[in-house]
Amino acid sequence: MSFEVHWEDRPSFLCKPMIELCRRLSLEERADRAVSLTNAARELMYEGMRLRNSFLQEKDLRRLFIEQNLKFYANQRRSDGE
């Protein structure tokens, strides 16, 4: 099976090559990729907070980061109906 690859800014579920790549991965590989993406997103978020709050010491920045994440997850649970 061959696809012409045109990487454009569109949702991944509409991208046939991406779907095919994901289908070929084992469940363990999919989980590894999901964890890697989650960690990368978390690191980007943390660095963004560091840039916006450059006056904070590392421990205060870490505390703020954790507080923001807890607020986000609490709001997610409420919006999901739990």
Note the pLDDT tens digit of each residue in 6-39: 656 667 677 788 788 888 999 999 999 999 999 9
Joined tokens for residue 79? 């919006």
Query: Residue 53's pLDDT is what?
Result: 94
* Average pLDDT score, the chain: 85
- Categorize the per-residue pLDDT at 41 as very low, low, confident or very high, splitting at 50, 70 and 90: very high
Q: Would you list the domain boundaries of the chain?
A: 12-79
Helices (H), the chain: 16-24, 27-52, 58-79
Cα distances (Å, whole numbers) of residue 2 to 5, 10, 13: 9, 20, 18
Is residue 47 within 8 Å of 62, Cβ to Cβ? no
- Give the C-alpha separation, 26 to 67, whole Å: 35
pLDDT greater than 90 at residue 61: yes
pTM of the model: 0.63
Is residue 46 within 8 Å of 65, Cβ to Cβ? yes
